[in-house]
Structure 1
Amino acid sequence: MVISVAGLAVGLAVGGVVLLAALGYTLHRTVDAEAFKTADAVAILAGQEALPDPLPVAGGEVRVQVVDASGRVRAASIGADRLVPMLYPRELAELGTRDGRYVPGERLGIAGPVRVVLVATGSPDDPQTVLVAKSLTDVRHSLKVVRGILLVGFPLLLVGLALVAWRMIGATLRPVEQLRAGADEITGSARSGRLPVPVSGDEIHRLAVTLNGMLDRLEGARQRQRAFVADAAHELRSPLANMRIQLEVAQRLADQTDWSAVAEDLLADNRRLSRLVDDLLLLARADDAPTGRRSAAAPVELADLLAGVAAGYPADRLRVAPPAAPLWTTGEPEELRRVLANLVDNGLRHAAEEVVLAAEPAPDGSGDHLVTVTDDGPGIAVEDRDRVFDRFTRLDDGRARDGGGAGLGLAIVRELVRRQGGEVRLRDARPGADRPGLRVEVRLPGYDPAADPSDPVGPVDPVDRQGSPVG
C-alpha cells in the first residue's frame, strides 16, 4: 500500500509539473501571438506612413512604440515613453526581425515581467522597428491559480485514492486472511478440515477450492498411510510373535527341544518377514516414482520374458502359451518379471489344476500387447476386483488368508504396471461356470524394433539380463 501511494504521489507530482509547464508554454505563446498581431497591424500603418498619434491599442497593459534607425521614437501608444525606446540599443541589436524578449516591467511602468516583441517595417531608406510590450501578469496569475489548485487538489485526491485503495485491498485480502486463519486452525489441530470458500468467484475463490482439494488429497493420503502403517505393523507382528513363541517354548523345554525343527520354523518366518519387508520397500519406492516409462526402460521380447518366468515354476502347474510372432514392449525387465511372478504365484495358490501364462496382441488394434495369467480357481467377484488391488486386502472367500500371503502381491503388480505405462484388469476366465477362474490381463505398450534404427536390439533374455528367474 505504501509503495502504491508513493508511486501515485510521484506520478501526480510529475503530472502536475508537466501540466504547469505545458500551460505556461501555451499562455506565453498566446501572449506572443497577440503581441505580434498588434505589431503587424502597426507595421502596416507605418509602411503606409499613416501612423496615428497616439497609437491605438487594446488593453491598458499593452505598450507600443515605433523606433527609427537612430533610436528615436517616431510614435507611441498611450502610456508608452515617447523619448526612450522600450529596448536598449544593445538589446535591439541582439534581436531578429521577428523576435522577442522578456524585460522587467518597472522599465515600462508595468507591474511584473513584460514580453516585448519586435517587427521590422518601413522602407530601406527609412527602416523602422515596431516594439510591442505586453504584460505577463495575467499569465503569472493563471499559473499561480492552477498551481494552487494542484497543490491543494492533488493531496486531497491522493488521500481519497489511498482510502479507496485501502478499502479495496482490505476487501480483497479479507478472504486471504480467512484462508490463513483456517489453515492455521487446521495446522494447529490433529483433525482434518476445510478452508472457507468465498462466494466472489474470483481468483481467491479458485485458490480456496484448489487448496480444499489439496487438503482432501492430503487427508486421504494420511488415512491411507495410517492404514498402511497399521497393516504393516500387524503383518510384521505375526511372524515376530511366532518366532518369539517358538523360542520361548524351546527355551522352556530345554534339552527336549528339537533345535533343527525350531531352526527350520524360524527360517520360514524369517523368509516371510524378508518378503514382506521387500514388498513394503518396493511399494514405498513405487509411490515416489513418476507414472509412465522411464529412461531405464529397454526393449523386451514377451516370449522370452514368459519363458524366463516360467522356468522358476513346476511345469505340471504352469503352462506357457507363447505368441505366434515376436511381440516387443519397452520396460524394465526386472519389474516386468516381478509382475508376472506375483500373478503366477497368486494363480498357483488358487488354481485347481494349472495356470496358463500367455501373450497376444491387443484385440482392439491399438498396437498394445496383452500378457495374461489365467487360472481355474474360484475367481473373484466383480464388486471385489478393484478392492483386491489395495494394499493388505484379502477376501473372505477362497482367496482369503493363505499360504503366507500378505495381501501386497496385486498392489505391487498395479504399481509396477503403472510405472511401465500399462494397466491391469481382472476378468472371469470362464464366465457362467461354477468355478469361473480368473484371467488377469496386463496391457503393455507395443514396440517395433524395425521402426527405431537408432536402437538396434536383439531378443532380450530376462535370465541373462537380470540373473536367475524369480522362484
Structure 2
Amino acid sequence: MNGWLERWGLRTRLMALGLVGVTGALVVGGLLLYAATGVSLERATVAEARSNASDVAALVNDGRLPEPVPVSGAQVVQVLDAGNRVVGGSVTADRLTPLINPQERRRLLAGGWVTVPGSRAGLGGELVAVAVLAGPAGNPSVVVAAVPTADLETSRRVLRTLMLVFFPVFLALLAFTAWRVIGYTLRPVERLRQGAERIGESADPSERLPLPTAHDELWALATTLNGMLERLSVASAKQRDFVSDAAHELRSPLASLQTQLEVAGRLGDGGTLPAELLPDLHRLSALVEDLLVLARSGPDAAPPRREPLDLSELLTEVEHRYAAARVPVRVHQSRLDGGVRPVVSGSRTEVSRAVTNLVDNAVRHARTCVVVRADVHGDAARLVVQDDGNGVPPQERERVFDRFARLEEARDRDSGGSGLGLPITRELLRRNGARVWLEDAAPGLRAVVQFDRLAEQAG
C-alpha cells in the first residue's frame, strides 16, 4: 500500500487518508444509528400495542367489553379465554383463529413480545403482538393486541435511503472542502517552492525564500534554508574573489614570460626550449583570461551596460572574422518576421564574446561547414550556430555548460578548449537577458541563443 500511496502528491494523500477515516466513522456511526433507531421504533411499537391491550383489559375487567372491540388505525385486538379460544375482538380480527399459539401465549404473559404472520389476521406482512391478563382470577382472559410492522419497516427504509443518499453527498462535499482547505494550508509550501525555483532561474545570490506569516514549522524551515543560502552565497563570493584575484595576479607574469619566450625564439636564444612550450603558454594565458571573465560575470557582478544590438551586424562581424577558418562559416541572411529586424538589448562586448565562443566551438567540431543565422519569431529573436560534427548526446547537452566539463571523445586537451567556453557563454548571455541551449541538428549540433524580448526600434 505504501508503494502506490507514496506516488500520490501530499495534498492527495492527506485528503485520501482523511476521507478514509471519515468514511469509516460514517459507516460505523450509520450502522449504530440504524440499529439504535430500529430498536427505538420497535420499543415504541411494542409500547403502543401494550397500551392498547391495557385499555381493552380495563374494559374486560369492568365487564363492559363491546363487540367489536374499538381500536384505532390498523391495530388488531383479540380476547382469548383460558383455552386460547377467541371470545371477542376488533373488526379486523379473526373470530376463529387466534393470533398467538399456546407457546407464544406463555411467552407474552411472561412480559415479552413476539412477531406473528399477518396472515393470522388476514393482513399482509407481520404484526408485533403483546398480551395482557384480564378478567377474574377464576376465569382469566388474555387480551392480545397486535400492531402491523409496516410503519416500522417504512421508517427503517426511509432511514436507509437517507443514509445512502446523504453519506455520498456529504463525502463529496467534504472531499471538495478538504481539497480546498489542504490546498490553502499548503500554500506557504507552494510559495517556498516558487521562491526556490525563482532563485534557481535567476541565480541571484541576494534572492531568499519568502517567510510565512505564521511562526510555525514552515517558518523555521524557510529561515534555516535562507541561512544556508546566505552561507552558500558568502562561500561562492569568496571563491569568485579568489579566482578573480588569482587570475588577475597571473596575467602579468604570464604575459612577461610569453614576451620573453617570443623574443628568445626570434633571437635564436631558445634552442634548448621545448617547441611546445609557447603554445602551452598561450593556452594557459587563455585559461587565465577565461577564469577572469567568468569571475567578473558572476550573479553579483555589476549589470552590463545595455544598448540596442542588431544581431545581423554581429553576423557580418562573424563572417569577416572567420573568413580563413578551418572550415567555411556560412552566414545566412536573417529571416524577418513582418519586417522586424533582430535588434535586442544587450552589451555588444559580452554578446559578441558569447557568439564567438559558440562559433569557435562549432568550427572546432565541424566536418565541412558551420552555418550561422539570426531569426525573429514574434517578440523573440534567435541566433543559431550549427555544425555538422559528431554532435553531443542528449544526456550530455546540459552538462557541457558546467565548468571544465569535457566529453569522453574530447579528453585530449589539444583537440578542445579549456572547458570554460560554454559556461562563459551561458553566463554572459544570462546577464544580457538571453538563454542558450543545444539541439540535435542531424547530423551535428545546433546551439540556439534566444532573446525573449526585442529592443524598441525607431520608425
Aligning the two structures, in what range does the TM-score lie when normalised by the shorter sequence?
Answer: 0.3 to 0.5
Larger radius of gyration: 1
Normalising by structure 2, report the TM-score: 0.46
